[in-house]
Amino acid sequence: MLQNLLTDGLVIGSVYALVSVGMTVILGVLGQINFAHGEYYMAGAFAAWWAIDRLGLSYIESIPLAILIVAVLSLVIGYVVMQRLVDVSFDAGIIATLGISLLLQNGATLLFGGTYQVFDGGWLAPMRVLGEDIAQQRILIVLVTLAVFGALEWLVRKSSFGKQMRAVAQNVECCHVLGLDVRRVVLITFILGTTLAALSGVMTAPITMNIYGAMGEAITLKSFAVIVMGGMGSIGGTLLAGWVLGIMESLVAAYVGLQFRDAVAFTLLVLVLMWRPSGFFNTKARY
Amino acid sequence: MPDDANVLAIEGLRAGYGALEILFGTDLLVAPGEFVALMGPNGAGKSTLLKTIFGMTAVTGGSIVWNGERISGRKPRDIRRRGIAFVPQGRCNFPLMSVDENLDMASCTIPGTRRADRDFVFDLFPILRERRRYPAGYLSGGEQQMLEMGMAMLQRPRLLLIDEPSVGLSPQAIHQVFAEMLRINAEGCTVLLVEQNTRKAMEVAKRVAVLRLGQVIWTGPPSAITHQQLGSLFMTGRLDMAPDDTVFPTV
Ligand SMILES: Nc1ncnc2c1ncn2[C@@H]1O[C@H](COP(=O)(O)OP(=O)(O)OP(=O)(O)O)[C@@H](O)[C@H]1O
Ligand SMILES: [Mg+2]
């Protein structure tokens, strides 16, 4: 039973980590919280659903297509809105991203209707791991998350683009002085962050099965809680915080009551802000 | 070569921050290879002038011409590609990145920079070679100033804009930084230096320009002005004592 809960928590935690790390990288370079973040998660799930349900593609084919669609969407939004947020105040960023959130939510409702859609895809056959039956899709989520975090660490630490991301995060003015193309770095990072949310949405939809226009709302708020716990900008911290949240939720749902599940993120958020506002983990890890 | 090669000509420049104008019709002509010290009281707009030349403020009037080409209104990136380097006032580096990575950032936007160029910076400031794996934020103020200057030197500029490089530095570090400015100037790079340390500035510069309330009110060789006269220019905008014949006011 406990092992079951822990694996469950790890899977859900991986979903949170994957979507949140997109918010982390965007926060890093832009210094803004993307309050529309969950909407890209929703858009990823809907794009895959549309590809499967309307175009008749298989799940595996729908994944790259959904990511491509969200990439194009965020290219447009990034170009029109997000690039301008580099040197504006924090509250302007909140208003702008909240506005985008409304647009995307209502856009999805307009396009696909206000009711739930059933997501029909994924690999739900069980697999035996450590004496437990787990749906393949769940194992895949954990593996993909680990791979993505490994790749992100490499990207940020070692690659030339990653150095530019850190440079923009640390000193925008100095980037201008050195002639770095700050807007390009912001745009690419934004697309990276939103496609990670989309990937998370596509990977999770087979498990949650129901998708709807407002499904991203809770994800945005939970991502916010995760990145605060993770130390606002630390990639490794985001992974650990995602897992902590997932496992706590699954324990609370089982031992306290299912209705308290969604309160866990906010309780943790409040506790962290009260006692350790720099996050659970190494505060110096921020890039 | 055309006559205006490597000439910096600023005419009637008006610029500032948003609706706030700081420069009100600034004129300054800098000849190729010159070493000009720009001086003036706090808030006169010296830093604003350098930032404006480098495309970092909003220009509302007048023009900046470099090398025969109008650069006002261009982005810092484009201006840097035209051989102008800027070392701003205060700290300008990436504090959590190593010295090596900082130099990487400085060279990644200039095509054709190689590792050898980094050794060139390390030869100028040997202390940086010892500190190459340190995060820039852990360096002393003087070491950071040298790093920032090294980052500018990597691009082999033809015009160096440098803002108060001596602030907070030990005499030894000041000496190194000024020696480097004199060296590149001797190699033909034009230098426009903003400096509060008037004594030091008048020692190295071939010409002094005084900025007050957003306008250049006096310019001439350091030998043409005494420290008292400079002080009175800063405060009242006038040379109270009778200047000798070589002094020519521009306004
Ligand atoms: N980013 C900014 N936004 C708005 N106003 C600014 C900004 N930077 C400077 N100012 C204003 O512009 C005026 C000129 O500032 P500037 O930094 O150019 O002066 P300075 O001559 O370099 O002075 P100092 O010797 O103290 O460095 C000041 O009144 C300052 O308050
Ligand atoms: Mg200044």
| pTM, 2 dp | 0.88
**Residues in chain B, total:** 251
Instruction: Report the 3 state secondary structure along A117-137.
Output: EECCCCCCCEEEECCEEEEHH
Residue range A166-181, pLDDT digits in tens: 999 999 999 999 999 9
Classify each residue of B24-43 as buried b or exposed e, where b means 16 or more C-beta atoms within 10 Å of its C-beta.
bebbbbbebebbbbbbbbee
Cross-chain CB nearest to B77 (options A170, A173, A179): A179
* Cα(B56) to centroid(ligand 2), Å: 14
Tell me which residue of B197, B240, B203 sits closest to B223, measured CA to CA: B203
Please give, rounded to a whole number of angstroms, the shortest distance from the CA of B42 to a CA of chain A.
Answer: 22
* Confidence band for A2, pLDDT divided at 50, 70 and 90: confident
Greatest mean pLDDT among A17-26, A277-286, B193-202 lies in A17-26
- What separation in angstroms does the CA of A12 have from each of A38, A131, A178? 15, 20, 42
**pLDDT above 70: percentage of residues in chain A:** 98
Which residue among B13, B14, B17, B53 has the greatest number of ligand 1 atoms within 8 angstroms of its CB, and so is best to mutate?
Answer: B17
Does the beta-carbon distance from A174 to B95 stay under 8 Å?
no
- Atom number, ligand 1, closest to the C-alpha of residue B46: 21
Q: Identify the closest residue of chain A to B148 by CA–CA distance.
A: A174
Provide the percentage of residues in chain B whose pLDDT is more than 90.
71
Length of chain A: 287
A 10 A CB-CB count for A244 gives 21
**Which domains, from first to last, does chain B contain?**
8-236 (3.40.50.300)
As a three-state string, the secondary structure of chain B is CCCCCCCEEEEEEEEEECCEEEEEEEEEEECCCCEEEEECCCCCCHHHHHHHHCCCCEEEEEEEEECCEECCCCCHHHHHHCCEEEECCCCCCCCCCEHHHHHHHHHCCCCCCCHHHHHHHHHHCHHHHHCCCCEHHHCCHHHHHHHHHHHHHCCCCCEEEEECCCCCCCHHHHHHHHHHHHHHHHCCCEEEEECCCHHHHHHHCCEEEEEECCEEEEEECHHHCCHHHHHHHHHHCCCCCCCCCCCECCC
**The token pair that represents A66 in the structure block:** 């959904």
Quote the tokens at residue A285.
């890890």
| CB atoms A164 and B95 under 8 Å | no
**Min Cα separation B77/chain A (Å):** 4
Please check whether residue A17 is in contact with residue A239, taking contact to mean a CB–CB distance below 8 angstroms. yes
Ligand nearest to the CA of B51: 1
Which residues of chain B neighbour A180 with C-beta distances below 8 Å? 77, 105, 108-109
Q: Which residue has the tokens 């490994």?
A: A150
Provide ipTM, 2 decimals.
0.87
Report yes or no: B211 and B180 within 8 Å, Cβ to Cβ. Answer: no
Low-confidence ranges of chain B (pLDDT < 50): 1, 243, 245-247, 251
Q: Which residues of B touch A163 (CB under 8 A)?
A: 97, 101, 104-105, 108
Nearest to A22 by CA among A248, A224, A245, A244: A224
Average pLDDT of the residues in A221-238: 91
Residue nearest to atom 28 of ligand 1 (CA): B43
CA B135/CA B152 separation, integer angstroms: 18
Residues in B touching A170 (Cβ below 8 Å): 94-97
Q: Best interface-test mutation with B: which of A166, A174, A178, A183 has the largest number of B CBs within 10 A?
A: A178
Sign, CA torsion B63/B69/B74/B76: negative
Residue-level pLDDT at A150: 97
Q: By the CB < 8 Å criterion, does A281 face chain B?
A: no
Find which of A38-42, A91-95, B177-181 is predicted with most confidence, using mean pLDDT.
A38-42
User: Do residues A157 and A29 touch, judged by C-beta distance below 8 A?
Assistant: no
| pLDDT per residue as tens digits for the range B124-137 | 899 999 999 999 99
pLDDT tens digit string along B13-57?
999 998 899 999 999 999 999 999 999 999 999 999 999 999 999
Residue A82 pLDDT > 90? yes
Residue A163 has its nearest CB partner, among B54, B80, B101, at: B101
How far is Cα A193 from Cα A240, in angstroms, rounded to an integer? Answer: 18
Q: Which residues line ligand 1 (CB under 6 A)?
A: B 17, 20, 22, 40, 42-48, 89
- Do A7 and A134 meet the contact criterion of CB atoms below 8 Å apart? yes
* Shortest Cα distance, chain B CAs vs residue A165, angstroms: 11
Q: What are phi and psi of A212, to 5 degrees?
A: -155, 165
* C-alpha distance from A174 to closest chain B C-alpha (Å): 5
Most A CBs within 10 A among B108, B147, B149, B155, hence the mutation to make, goes to: B108
Q: Does A131 touch chain B (CB under 8 A)?
A: no
| Rounded CA separation B79/B50 (Å) | 12
Distance B11 CA to ligand 2 centre (A): 21
Question: Which bound ligand lies closest to the C-alpha atom of B43?
Answer: 1
User: Which tokens go with B236?
Assistant: 């009242």
Give the 3-state secondary structure of residue A214.
Answer: coil
Q: Quick count: other Cβ atoms within 10 Å of Cβ A26?
A: 28
Section A44-72 average pLDDT: 96
Average the pLDDT over A77-102 and give the result.
93
How many Å apart are CA B53 and CA B61, to the nearest integer? Answer: 13
Closest-CA residue of A relative to B151 is A178
If you search the block for the tokens 């902590």, which residue do you land on? A244
| Number of neighbours of residue A277 by Cβ within 10 angstroms | 11
Closest to A199 in 3D by CA, of A4, A8, A17, A7: A17
Ion ligand 2: protein residues whose beta carbon lies under 5 Å: B 47, 89
Q: What is the pLDDT of residue A194?
A: 98
Cα end-to-end span (Å), chain A: 39
Question: Min CA distance, B106 vs chain A (Å)?
Answer: 6
State whether A163 and B96 contact (CB < 8 Å).
Answer: no
At A278, the pLDDT band (50, 70, 90 cuts) reads: confident
Instruction: Report d(CA A45, CA A214) in Å as an integer.
Output: 12
